[in-house]
Amino acid sequence: MKKFILFIFLSIGLTVNAQDNYAGSDLALNTSQHKPSSKKKLEKKESAFKPGEWLKFRLHYGFLNASYATLQVKNAEINGKSVYHVVGKGRTSGFASIFFKVDDRYESYFDKEEGKPYKFVRKIDEGGYTKDVEIDFDHTNDKAVLNDKKNKFKKEFELQDSIQDLISAFYYLRNYYEPKDLVQGESITLKMLYDDDGIFNFKLKYLGDEIVNTKFGKVKCFKFRPYVQSGRVFKEQESLSLWVSADKNKLPIRIKADLAVGSIKADLDQYNGLKHQFKIIMD
């Protein structure tokens, strides 16, 4: 259960113990074909989001509204450079908090032009399981330093081409995957670092388009399958599904997972400060 709450951060459930040994055809955004190394400039393009964007997700377990998560985009500075600062929060609520109390906070500071992370913060309390971790990314020297404040140790990682943290990956994907490049059955891959487990390959398989009924109305979405590790929490590798709006915002609309016991669903519940019009299908 200690990584269970990651599910509600988009993609957020997107990165829970992702497999790096799935054999399949890939659209690798962080290879030289699609993403130059951190020392090269990406072609500037219109962002899918802007400072002031705020998203709230409601997590359902059966009939229970088990918890919620929010993501907020702000402006900040890192070493005199203007960057995006995203704060993600997750908490259990109501009846569910009696059985399993969660109070999580994630922060990411990342580049406005290239999406590369500069700093990642993870402070969590999940039923008494706690972490207090910060990662500083040094793209000039191709290294990252993880500072585990709870256990009082530091660990250094060599950066491999481009890299993303748990939160910056979400916004990187929103900005740098092109719908025209998506091929049904192929996977998007990213290298990720957010804990002392090290760098791993995250894969997101594109399954096609689908209309999703939401509280806002019908929304055309791209459907993806994040690959996760089967075991205590998830039933199998393909237990997780993700729907992303097929408009310029590329918002996570719904995440569903089959767990070892029962199933769970997270829906976009509220939003504010979107950069683009949120497209609803009118009957």
Mean pLDDT, the chain cut into blocks of 10 residues (283 residues total): 40 34 43 39 73 93 75 96 96 70 92 96 89 96 96 93 90 89 90 88 91 97 77 50 95 85 84 97 84
**204 phi and psi angles, rounded to 5 deg:** -130, 110
Q: Which residues contact 10 (CB under 8 A, 6 or more apart)?
A: 71, 170, 242, 252, 255
* Identity of the amino acid at 196: D
Residue count of the chain, please give it: 283
**Residue 281 to residue 64: CA distance in whole angstroms:** 28
Please, are residues 270 and 43 in contact by the beta-carbon 8 Å criterion? no
In the chain, the largest separation of any two C-alpha atoms, in whole Å, equals 57
Cα 118 from chain centre: 16
Q: What is the structure's pLDDT at 40?
A: 42
**Residue 233 to residue 228: CA distance in whole angstroms:** 10
Q: What is the structure's pLDDT at 61?
A: 74
Tell me the domain boundaries of the chain: 13-272
Closest of 126, 135, 137 to residue 92, by C-alpha: 126
pTM, 2 dp: 0.84
Q: What is the structure's pLDDT at 277?
A: 96
Q: Cα 267–127–144 angle (5° rounding)?
A: 80
**Residue 37 to residue 29: CA distance in whole angstroms:** 11
